[in-house]
Structure 1
Amino acid sequence: MNAGPESPAGGDDDQVLAVMPHLAQLSNAISRGRLTEHAMESAGIEVDRPAFSVLVSVHLTGRPLRISEIAEKMQLVQPHVTRQVQQLERRGLVRRIGDPNDRRVSYIEPTDQGRAAADRYARTLIGWFTGAISHWSEQDREDLGRLLARFADDVTAHLATLEDT
């Protein structure tokens, strides 16, 4: 069904629709495939996938985060994130640091062990993705990086408008 030549945002609906199966394929390959398991094994720690996702998310942010910020960033509910953080704390992968201005507030940051595990995980993924596109031209690899970053930023910003309504 064609909704018209142009969507309200100015993009061609049919072109976007044609990409959707590829996005689903990529999402399934990454989230359900052996790649995530392999990367977690390379990290050398034993926690469940949701907890590891919290660790990686906090690490990649590059600054301590409140539980509410982690939940928002990962689009999860706070009690779920709290349970994952507690698991990571018990394993010595994250620690809580207090807010000097408000004793009720604590921030979560990775420990050295947590940072090292998240780095091993990321290096494994980067190595795998780099290998998957190694036969691409340098220009194609640069275009992918530029367009993927732009796509992620625009989708995130557009999703924020849903939350505002």
Structure 2
Amino acid sequence: MECDVNPETPDAPSADVLAVVPRLAQLSNAVNRGRLAERAAEAAGLALDRPAVGVLVTLHVADRPLRIGEIAERMQVVGPHVTRQVQALERRGLVHRVADPHDRRASLIEPTQQGAQAANRYAGSLVGWFAEAIAGWTDEERADLGRLLGRLVDDVTAHLGRLEEG
């Protein structure tokens, strides 16, 4: 894909910013080709597909039970997709529905104890893999990565939010 960027335009992105995009794509491709999510699910003993694991982890890291729409928004997918995944996770005893205290007609979804333990095993496997990948880095390099990656995610998320609003 070719990008038509005129470096002489005053508001054109700098070369260092432009260099980030292909590196992000390279990282994404490496992680996907390496089947990292699938390997982590296997290591966690989860016989679930990637979308179901995504729903389970989203619920596990949430600070409260979530509505289907909230899960979909956090995962950036459509509600019916999440509904199917939640139903599959319910059948396996990994999530359950609770009444919404603000609207008794609605239900919220939260992980069961078994679901929370499975999500912890999955996350532990992912963290372990990344820790091994950067084991040769200094403490300062790891701290820089965490700080800058966190900032990138926050800024990109905020920028996308503003785009959706406007």
The TM-score with structure 1 as length reference comes to 0.91
**2:110 partner SS:** strand
Query: How do 1:100-115 and structure 2 match up within 5 A?
Result: 100-115=101-116
- Over 6 Å off, 4+ runs: none
> Deviation of residue 71 (structure 1)?
0.6
**2:153 partner SS:** helix
Query: How do 1:118-137 and structure 2 match up within 5 A?
Result: 118-137=119-138
Q: Which residue of 1 aligns with 2:146?
A: 145
Q: Which residue of 1 aligns with 2:6?
A: 3
2-structure distance, mates of 1:155, 1:103: 35
1:1-44 residue CA offsets vs partner (Å, 9 max, x unmatched)? 54336774xx8432122111110111122234232111000121
Gaps of 5+ in 2: none
Query: How do 1:1-165 and structure 2 match up within 5 A?
Result: 1-4=4-7, 8=11, 12-165=13-166
> Deviation of residue 162 (structure 1)?
1.4
Gaps of 5+ in 1: none
2-structure distance, mates of 1:155, 1:105: 32
1:112-160 residue CA offsets vs partner (Å, 9 max, x unmatched)? 1111111011111111111111111111100000010010011000000
2-structure distance, mates of 1:157, 1:25: 23
**1:63 partner SS:** coil
Cα-Cα RMSD: 1.7
The TM-score with structure 2 as length reference comes to 0.91
2-structure distance, mates of 1:7, 1:129: 38
2-structure distance, mates of 1:140, 1:73: 29
Count of aligned residue pairs for this structure pair: 163
> Deviation of residue 47 (structure 1)?
1.7
2-structure distance, mates of 1:135, 1:13: 30
Q: Which amino acid aligns with 1:146?
A: R
Deviating more after overlay: 98-107 vs 86-95:
98-107
